[in-house]
Amino acid sequence: MSQAFILRDYQTQAVKAAVEHFRHGDNPAVIVLPTGAGKSLVIAELSRLAKGRVICLAHVKELVEQNHGKFLATGSAAGVFSAGLSQKNSTAKTTFASIQSLSANLDSFQAPASLIIIDECHRVGTDENGQYNKTLTHFRTLNPSVKILGLTATPYRLGSGWIYQHHYHGYTRPCITSFFKKCIFELPLQHMVKNGYLTPPIHYDAAIAHYDFSLLTQSLDGEQDTDDIALNELIHKHPRVTKAVTEQIIQLSQDRQGVMIFASTIDHAQEISGYLPADQTAFITGTTKIKQRDALIAAFKAKKIKYLVNVSVLTTGFDAPHVDVIAILRPTQSISLFQQIVGRGLRLSPGKKDCLVLDYTNNGYNIFQPEIGEKKPTQDSVAVQIHCPQCDFANAFWGRKDTEGNILEHFGRRCHGLIEGPEGSDNPESPEVDRQCTYRFRFKYCPYCNQENDIAARQCQYCSEKLIDPDDLLRKALNLKNNKVLRCAAITPEIIWADKCLKVTYHDEDGLTLSETFRFNYKNSRQAFNDLFARRIANASQSIQFNSLEELERFLPYLPAPDFVIAKKQKHHWQVTERLFDYEGPYRKANELS
């Protein structure tokens, strides 16, 4: 590397992690570095070290240009393939390309590559016909052993969660599908701030006014607003909010250098701009012409204008280190997008001591704690730590707490811990080494082999028999006269000492009940209770099996309620036949809006 750029210790560690990983296999890997950590330098050094052809991909021209510039500073030559930069060099040993331009011109790339690096790799989706997957398939056809490395500050996607399966610290990530197999290096944002590599973000409680976007969250995908009409209607109903918010931004920014404002829609951005000083303000949207956009950005970076309002266009690939105020006036369900927005203000700059973060939308994210990559199951969900009763791994799940901070419940399905395989394995990527802990917090039993399966599984992973579909159960029960379906809102457990049994009464929203009895002096009845309730007790610190009512008594308040209870009419009573826990499907559960 050129003397102009000396790698920091963590950048050197990231490079070494990539080299070591690809010495042992070809599995796609991820490096996680916070915004401002210098991903471009890591990319430049890895590209310089590679012996074969290198393709570096990014989704915006600014990143292509930035990564190319850092590589040239190493003293090596490289080409650019990007329509936005008016360059299409497809023959260089190292090529920096925009994914849009390259994926549309794959015929120009017929020489195999040894390494493909993807900046902002969380944008790689699961669609086989998507630009990234189409491109990667092309290069894998040319060279099945091509190494693929992704870099990102936010390793998760809204809707599908984490973008990799295994972490080098020894745990797994819950993900529906993931192209990348392993995170091989990660640097926490807190480390960057603590060691003076980034500016501290200061979250200011801007209590003067807020937008209430809670009713619209289901129509937002996090990456872009898909329902501008609904957003505009809500914003226009509260014109005083925008005016009050803008006035406060001006007041709090009096001694600040640069202010970036993230608006919800184009109409919203225009309204905000109207309240700001005209000679110090510019706003940019996806429809702004390229030359005009570049001129406005240049003026902002030169501090000729102070306020830059934008709509979904300056979240990545934008670098203006003097920015010391971030004002968020748009909703998002994506913590990834939230981190990218705040990250625009964390770079170091002369005279800059911190970055003021003003969130007027109650997004409620903690930029220092992005451990949960899945969407919040409920509005009041918070991050909770749950130890696995089997391997003692400390899992990070969404959950709910009471006012005193006690965990009421969590929504984790399976332990994320990794169990080390037998020593001496030649392949560090082998399944024997990267074996996930088998403990499940939420599960359903296979009626054929009695093994536990994921709560959403439709086929048993052990015997391959088709599992009972809860929707089918509910549908059939609702259509049978001798069946009753109770939408369970709560349960009342009662120990009847004289009969050595536990009576469980299930309550619906309207006061109707069903009940059943578990006789603890009979093994089968006791085991049936344990299978249904014991393993599902909230925040259980150990694997629980109750052998007596005395053992069970203190746990009665923690017994979980099923979502649905199905009963069949007998001669003189209703007999409970099914209890459906952790239901996910089209039928409304208790206390949910229809």
How is 171-240 classified by DSSP, letter by letter? Answer: EE--BS--SEEEEEEE--HHHHHHTTSSPPEEEE--TT-----GGGGGGB-SSSBS-HHHHHHHHHH-HH
List residues bridging with 148 in a β-sheet.
Answer: 116
Per-block mean pLDDT, blocks of 10 residues, the chain (594 long): 72 95 93 89 92 93 90 90 92 94 95 95 85 95 96 80 81 71 88 90 73 52 53 71 90 94 89 93 90 93 95 80 92 77 91 92 66 63 81 81 79 78 45 66 75 76 79 90 92 94 93 94 92 74 80 89 94 92 86 67
> Are the CB atoms for 487 and 471 separated by under 8 Å?
no
539-544: Cβ within 8 A, 24+ apart = 539/384, 539/386, 539/407, 539/409, 539/410, 540/389, 541/387, 541/389, 542/389, 543/389, 543/390, 543/439, 544/389
Report the alpha-carbon distance of residue 582 to residue 342 in Å, rounded: 35
Burial of 360 (0-12, 13-18, 19+ CB in 10 A): buried
> Are the CB atoms for 261 and 252 separated by under 8 Å?
no
Q: What is the pLDDT of residue 160?
A: 66
Tokens 């091509």 belong to 146
Q: What is the pLDDT of residue 179?
A: 87
List residues bridging with 203 in a β-sheet.
Answer: 357
Q: What is the pLDDT of residue 433?
A: 46
> Are the CB atoms for 71 and 94 separated by under 8 Å?
yes
For 329, the token pair is 């006036």
**pTM, whole model, 2 decimals?**
0.64
Residue 334's SS3 state is coil
In sequence order, the 6+-apart residues with CB closer than 8 A to the CB of 248 are 206, 208, 209, 358
> Are the CB atoms for 463 and 448 separated by under 8 Å?
yes
